[in-house]
Amino acid sequence: MSNTQDYVQWFRGAAPYIKAHRRKTFVIMITDEVIYSDRFIGLVHDIALLNHLGIKLVILHGSRSSIDSHLADNKLDSRFHRNIRITDTAALPLVIHAINEVKTYFESQLSTGLPNTPMSGSELSLVSGNFVTGMPLGVIDGVDMQHSGKVRAIKHEAINDLLALNHVVLLSNLGYSRTGEVFNLPAEELAGEVARALKADKLIFVQPGIADGDAQASTLSTRQCESMLEDSATPGELTSLLQQAIQAIQAQVKRVHFIDPRVDGGLLLELFTRDGYGIMVTNLFYEGSRAASIDDVGGILSLIEPLQDSGILVARSREQVELEISHFQVIEKDGMIIACIACIQDSKDDTAEIACLAVHESYQGSGLGNQLLQFAEDRAIKSGISRLYTLTTRTSHWFIEHGFTESGDFDLPEVKRATFNPERGSKILLKSI
Ligand SMILES: CC(C)(COP(=O)(O)OP(=O)(O)OC[C@H]1O[C@@H](n2cnc3c(N)ncnc32)[C@H](O)[C@@H]1OP(=O)(O)O)[C@@H](O)C(=O)NCCC(=O)NCCS
């Protein structure tokens, strides 16, 4: 394929995401290490692009390494308790200074008009202010955390008003108390609090840690994050990130993403390509996706019967579901099967059928269908399948959006031909995997 064609394909591929992200609210946390790195100008460009695509942006900058070096330069020790810096009275002015320095640099970079980049001439309007009310962390395990604080409130209405006017809101990890004190807040925690207060569509961490060097995009469920937290091998510095991800998802933030900042364009790849690039945490598999067992037959039938009655799914008897149960994957919530898929392999072929994909009405549109399909694809690839097909009467567009193409001349595997009912007029869709 020529470069021009690649470009056209890429642009078309990005179109659904451009549409989907428009007017959505993203909270993006960027550490100061990233802000002072060579890659930052690329990120500035990408932030400007997101703003121009109509995405509402709240950006938080971290300041940890700058604070470390300011304290070290002034021969003050950095003391931590439970991974949180203890900001004492001597350290506070240096902490404020370091934070303001990062903020000023950040603002200057976002004000450059981006010469010599594809976004040249674009102007961003950055706004910051007293949007974060802080309060003292107090004494933890007998240790006085002094000027280290936590979030008391976020002025989310004021932030939303600014976002509606297309301003980018920039927040530093400082909070002001009602008594006029200043508190040093953990930046990841603040990012999580802001995303929750705004009920943001995405909370994105552009920082080293979870997605390091992960060239393959992947998805984590909140349950997997919990297991990582329980695992003693998980480094302490990831604890807060994982906790924020879990809490954000539980508070209806739709997605949390971790992006390796060393990858140029990692943010764009994650947001605008089907396969993504970073690590995404979702509420999918909330109660766990798992291989179905014979005990699930009743639950699967309850889910698919209404769809069979309305002709959307082909009729399957209880006996047939029982026979095929090892091919099913289900998602269960509160003891109910809320989604299922079957990936039925023909033993003589490297082709498998995607069948019986169904998501309970109350859970449609939250990505469960997409997730189950991805799961089925992964499993199929592992068992040597190189091609998937599906038969559908009313869902062809959904499958096409997931990489399938219509194929009028595909020869159904023998085993399928035996049960195929041409009167349904199903379309046959194929996908190479
Ligand atoms: C098709 C189905 C499995 C998708 O599951 P889901 O969890 O809702 O899907 P996702 O959340 O991953 O994707 C939702 C998107 O798919 C779209 N979509 C849903 N059904 C669709 C259809 N029949 N045709 C085209 N797009 C469809 C939604 O509008 C939504 O798009 P949006 O985000 O732009 O609003 C689910 O809608 C379902 O169970 N439908 C009834 C059964 C069925 O048709 N099964 C397939 C049999 S072959």
Residue carrying the six token digits 């509402």: 56
pLDDT at residue 287, as a whole number = 47
Counting atoms of ligand 1 from 1, which one is nearest the CA of 394? 23
Is the pLDDT assigned to residue 3 strictly greater than 80? Answer: no
pLDDT at residue 115, as a whole number = 64
Digit-coded pLDDT (tens) for 243-301 = 999 999 888 898 899 998 888 899 999 899 877 778 888 765 544 678 999 999 999 99
Is the pLDDT assigned to residue 422 strictly greater than 60? Answer: yes
| Alpha carbon nearest to ligand 1 atom 5, residue | 369
pTM of this prediction?
Answer: 0.66
Least confident of 5-14, 42-51, 92-101, 115-124: 115-124
The enclosing H or E element of 428 equals strand 427-432
Q: Which amino acid is at 423?
A: E
| Alpha carbon nearest to ligand 1 atom 46, residue | 357
What average pLDDT score do residues 59-81 get?
94
CA of 6 to the centre of ligand 1 (A): 28
The enclosing H or E element of 357 equals strand 351-359
| Alpha carbon nearest to ligand 1 atom 19, residue | 398
Is the pLDDT assigned to residue 110 strictly greater than 70? Answer: yes
How many Cα neighbours within 13 Å face the side chain of 107?
15
Counting atoms of ligand 1 from 1, which one is nearest the CA of 370? 12
Instruction: Identify whether residues 333 and 363 lie together within a single domain.
Output: yes
Q: Within 10 Å of residue 174's Cβ, how many Cβ atoms?
A: 21
pLDDT at residue 243, as a whole number = 93
Least confident of 82-91, 160-169, 325-334, 420-429: 420-429
In the structure, which protein residues have their CB atom closer than 6 angstroms to any atom of ligand 1?
307, 312-313, 357-359, 364-370, 390, 392, 394-395, 397-398
CA of 365 to the centre of ligand 1 (A): 6
pLDDT bracket for residue 375 (50, 70, 90):
confident
Is the pLDDT assigned to residue 4 strictly greater than 90? Answer: no
The CATH number of the domain holding residue 364 is: 3.40.630.30
Our mutation pick for probing the ligand 1 site, out of 395, 400, 416, 421, counting the most ligand atoms within 8 A of Cβ, is 395
Least confident of 75-84, 136-145, 213-222: 213-222
CA of 399 to the centre of ligand 1 (A): 9
Q: Within 10 Å of residue 247's Cβ, how many Cβ atoms?
A: 18
Dihedral (CA of 141, 231, 377, 292) sign: negative
What average pLDDT score do residues 394-411 get?
89
| Alpha carbon nearest to ligand 1 atom 43, residue | 358
What average pLDDT score do residues 190-213 get?
90
Counting atoms of ligand 1 from 1, which one is nearest the CA of 368? 7
Instruction: Identify whether residues 229 and 351 lie together within a single domain.
Output: no
Our mutation pick for probing the ligand 1 site, out of 286, 370, 398, 416, counting the most ligand atoms within 8 A of Cβ, is 398
Q: What crossing angle do the helices spanning 92-109 and 64-73 adopt, rounded to 10°?
A: 130
Per-residue CA distances from 5 to 1, 10, 81, 415 (Å): 6, 8, 55, 39
Instruction: Identify whether residues 265 and 392 lie together within a single domain.
Output: no
Digit-coded pLDDT (tens) for 310-322 = 888 988 999 999 9
The CATH number of the domain holding residue 274 is: 3.40.1160.10
Portion of the chain with pLDDT greater than 90, in percent: 58
Contact 323, 351 (CB under 8 A): no
Instruction: Identify whether residues 148 and 241 lie together within a single domain.
Output: yes
Mean pLDDT over the full length of the chain? 89
Instruction: Identify whether residues 225 and 366 lie together within a single domain.
Output: no
Instruction: Identify whether residues 240 and 360 lie together within a single domain.
Output: no
How buried is 15 (Cβ within 10 angstroms: 0-12 exposed, 13-18 middle, 19+ buried)?
exposed
| Alpha carbon nearest to ligand 1 atom 32, residue | 365
Contact 303, 292 (CB under 8 A): no
Counting atoms of ligand 1 from 1, which one is nearest the CA of 356? 47
pLDDT at residue 250, as a whole number = 84
pLDDT at residue 395, as a whole number = 92
Least confident of 326-330, 340-344, 423-427: 423-427
Question: Which of 282, 311, 333 finishes a domain?
Answer: 282
Instruction: Identify whether residues 333 and 255 lie together within a single domain.
Output: no
What average pLDDT score do residues 54-70 get?
96
Least confident of 13-27, 130-144, 169-183: 13-27
Our mutation pick for probing the ligand 1 site, out of 286, 310, 364, 397, counting the most ligand atoms within 8 A of Cβ, is 364
| Alpha carbon nearest to ligand 1 atom 36, residue | 359
What's the token pair of residue 46?
């990408």
Least confident of 124-133, 211-220, 409-418: 211-220
Count of domains observed in the chain: 2
Instruction: Identify whether residues 81 and 220 lie together within a single domain.
Output: yes
pLDDT bracket for residue 215 (50, 70, 90):
very low
Domain of residue 337 covers 289-432
Question: Which of 282, 317, 346 finishes a domain?
Answer: 282
| Alpha carbon nearest to ligand 1 atom 22, residue | 395
Question: Which of 248, 282, 316 finishes a domain?
Answer: 282
Instruction: Identify whether residues 277 and 296 lie together within a single domain.
Output: no
Distance CA 410, CA 416 (A): 12
CA of 403 to the centre of ligand 1 (A): 14
Residue carrying the six token digits 């202010």: 129
Instruction: Identify whether residues 253 and 305 lie together within a single domain.
Output: no
Instruction: Identify whether residues 263 and 312 lie together within a single domain.
Output: no
Instruction: Identify whether residues 270 and 296 lie together within a single domain.
Output: no
